[in-house]
C-alpha cells in the first residue's frame, strides 16, 4: 500500500501543455501572459475585481496588510487557531498580533464577540488597524457580524482564504467576503503551483500598490528609482501556467473532498466522542481537510492514539493547528478570550487524509483503523 498523505499535490495532466506553452514562448522570466491570465481567471472564480499573483500566500498577506495601512506599533487581530502564516506578516510590518480565541461550535473567530471588542477598543482609544479572519480547513468564517463595526471604526478586514478556495457562503466564494483576501497555492492546498499565492482586492488602488510593492517598488522610469523599499514577491510565468491547469479542475476537487468528508462522517461520526468540523449555515465548505475532535473519555482512546494507529499503517494524520497564542514565537502577545477553546480543540483535534486521489476504499481503510483504536484501548 502506498503511503497515504494528508493532502498531496494532484496533477490534472493539463499542466504539461500549459508549461510547454510557457517554455515555447520563451517566457521563463517572472511575469508574462500566464500570470496575467491566472490573475484574471482566479479573480473571476472568486468574484473579486482585482488579483495580484504572488510567490506565496504569506507574501500575499504581507502585501494585503501593508496596503491596508498596517505599520509599526499597530495592532492586528487574528484568529489564534490557524497556521502561523496568518500572523507572521503582522510582525514583518512591526505590528503586534492580538489572538482571538475560537468559538466552540464553529472553531472560527467569534465575529459577534470581536465586534463588541472593537467598540470597547474604540472607547479605550486603541483600535486595531486590521482584522484577519481565517477560513479554517475549508470552512468559512462569516464576517457579517463584524462588517458594520469595522466600517464604523475604519478597521480593514482581511480574509485569509488560503484553506478555503472553492468554498461558498450564501453563494459568495471564499476570498470575496472582505475587501482584501489572500489565497495560497502551496503544495498541500486544494490547487497548487508548487508554491504561490494570490492577493485579491476590491479596490484597484490597493491591487496596484500591492503589485508595485511586490516588484521591488520600482518607479516607472528607465533607471532604477525607488521611493520606498519593496519586495520580490511576484509569481513566475511558469508556475502561473501550472496554476491555470489546476484552477480549471477546482470544482471537481471540491466535490471530491466533500465526498471524502461525507464518507468519513458515515463511518466515524456515530462513534462516541467524535465530532466533525461542520460547515456553517448557508455554507458549502470545500473541506480542504476533514477534521474532527475526539473526546478520549467517551471514545476510549486519545487523538494521539488514533494518529499512532494510522502511522503504523503508513497513513498520515496530524493534530489541528497549534494555536498561535501558545507558540513560543508569540510569547507575551495578548489574547481576546481565554484561549482555552482553541487549546482544547488543539488537544483533541486531528486532520485526516483528504487528498483528491483518495478512493472511498482508502477512506474506509483509514476509518476502520481509526475506529479500531478506540476498541483497542
Ligand atoms: C497555507 C496557508 C497560508 C499561506 O501559506 P503559503 O505557504 O505561504 O502559501 C496562509 N494561511 C493559512 C491559514 C494557510 O493554511
Beta strands in 297-344 (DSSP E): 318-319, 335-336
Q: Is 85 in the pocket of ligand 1 (CB under 6 A)?
A: yes
Mutational test site, ligand 1, from 83, 214, 321, max ligand atoms within 8 Å of CB: 83
pLDDT at position 26 is 74
pLDDT at position 28 is 64
User: How far, in Å, CA of 310 to CA of 369, rounded?
Assistant: 6
Distance 184 CA to ligand 1 centre (A): 5
pLDDT at position 77 is 98
Q: Is 79 in the pocket of ligand 1 (CB under 6 A)?
A: no
Sheet with strand 349-352: strands edge to edge: 274-276, 290-294, 349-352, 318-319
E strand or H helix at 191: none
Q: Is 80 in the pocket of ligand 1 (CB under 6 A)?
A: no
pLDDT tens by residue, 17-30: 999 988 888 766 66
Distance 130 CA to ligand 1 centre (A): 18
Q: Which residues contact 343 (CB under 8 A, 6 or more apart)?
A: 323, 326
CATH of domain 14-247: 3.40.640.10
CATH of domain 250-376: 3.90.1150.10
* Residues 82 and 90 sit within 8 Å (Cβ to Cβ): no
Dig out the grid coordinates for 303 from the structure.
487523538
Rounded to an integer, the average pLDDT of 345-356 is 98
pLDDT at position 29 is 63
Domain boundaries, the chain: 14-247, 250-376
Mutational test site, ligand 1, from 189, 200, 235, 243, max ligand atoms within 8 Å of CB: 189
Rounded to an integer, the average pLDDT of 298-317 is 98
Rounded to an integer, the average pLDDT of 197-203 is 98
Q: 358 pLDDT exceeds 90?
A: yes
pTM recorded for the entire structure: 0.97
Q: Where residue 185 falls among pLDDT bands split at 50, 70, 90?
A: very high
pLDDT tens by residue, 65-119: 999 999 999 999 999 999 999 999 999 999 999 999 999 999 999 999 999 999 9
Mutational test site, ligand 1, from 56, 58, 134, max ligand atoms within 8 Å of CB: 58
Tell me the pLDDT of the chain averaged across its residues: 96
Q: Is 64 in the pocket of ligand 1 (CB under 6 A)?
A: no
Rounded to an integer, the average pLDDT of 193-214 is 98
pLDDT at position 30 is 61
DSSP state of 176: -
User: How far, in Å, CA of 313 to CA of 324, rounded?
Assistant: 31
**Which atom belonging to ligand 1 lies closest to the Cα atom of 188?**
1
Q: 14-247 with 250-376: one CATH topology?
A: no
Rounded to an integer, the average pLDDT of 167-174 is 98
Amino acid at each position: 500500500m502506498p503511503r497515504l498523505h494528508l493532502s498531496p499535490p494532484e496533477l490534472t495532466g493539463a499542466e504539461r501543455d500549459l508549461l510547454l506553452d510557457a517554455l515555447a514562448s520563451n517566457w521563463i522570466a517572472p511575469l508574462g501572459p500566464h500570470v496575467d491570465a491566472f490573475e484574471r481567471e482566479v479573480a473571476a472564480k472568486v468574484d473579486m475585481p482585482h488579483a495580484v499573483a504572488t510567490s506565496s500566500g504569506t507574501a500575499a498577506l504581507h502585501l494585503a496588510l501593508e496596503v491596508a495601512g498596517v505599520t509599526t506599533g499597530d495592532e492586528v487581530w487574528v484568529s489564534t487557531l490557524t497556521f502561523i502564516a496568518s500572523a507572521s506578516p503582522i510582525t514583518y510590518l512591526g505590528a503586534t498580533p492580538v489572538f482571538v480565541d475560537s468559538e466552540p461550535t464553529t472553531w472560527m473567530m467569534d465575529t459577534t464577540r470581536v465586534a463588541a471588542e472593537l467598540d470597547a477598543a474604540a472607547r479605550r482609544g486603541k483600535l486595531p488597524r486590521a482584522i484577519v479572519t481565517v477560513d479554517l480547513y475549508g470552512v468559512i468564517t462569516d464576517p457579517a457580524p463584524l462588517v458594520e463595526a469595522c466600517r464604523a471604526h475604519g478597521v480593514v478586514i482581511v480574509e485569509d482564504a488560503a484553506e478555503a478556495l472553492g468554498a461558498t457562503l450564501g453563494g459568495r466564494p471564499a476570498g470575496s467576503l472582505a475587501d482584501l483576501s489572500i489565497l495560497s497555492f502551496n503544495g498541500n492546498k486544494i490547487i497548487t503551483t508548487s508554491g504561490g499565492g494570490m492577493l485579491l482586492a476590491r479596490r484597484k488602488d490597493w491591487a496596484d500598490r500591492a503589485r508595485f510593492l511586490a516588484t521591488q517598488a520600482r518607479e516607472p522610469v528607465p533607471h532604477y528609482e525607488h521611493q520606498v523599499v519593496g519586495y520580490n514577491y511576484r509569481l513566475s510565468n511558469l508556475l502561473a501556467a501550472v496554476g491555470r491547469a489546476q484552477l480549471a479542475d477546482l470544482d471537481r476537487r471540491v466535490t471530491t473532498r466533500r465526498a471524502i468528508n461525507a464518507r468519513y462522517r458515515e463511518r466515524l461520526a456515530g462513534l462516541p466522542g467524535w465530532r466533525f468540523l461542520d460547515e456553517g449555515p448557508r455554507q458549502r465548505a470545500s473541506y480542504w481537510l476533514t477534521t474532527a475532535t475526539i473526546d478520549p473519555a467517551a471514545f476510549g482512546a486519545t487523538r494521539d492514539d488514533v494518529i499512532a494507529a494510522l502511522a503504523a499503517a503508513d497513513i498520515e494524520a496530524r493534530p489541528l493547528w497549534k494555536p498561535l497564542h501558545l507558540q513560543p514565537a508569540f510569547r507575551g502577545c495578548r489574547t481576546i478570550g481565554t484561549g482555552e477553546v482553541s487549546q482544547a480543540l488543539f488537544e483533541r483535534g486531528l486532520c485526516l487524509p483528504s487528498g483528491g486521489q483518495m478512493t472511498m476504499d482508502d477512506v474506509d481503510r483509514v476509518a476502520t483503523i481509526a475506529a479500531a483504536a478506540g476498541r483497542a484501548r
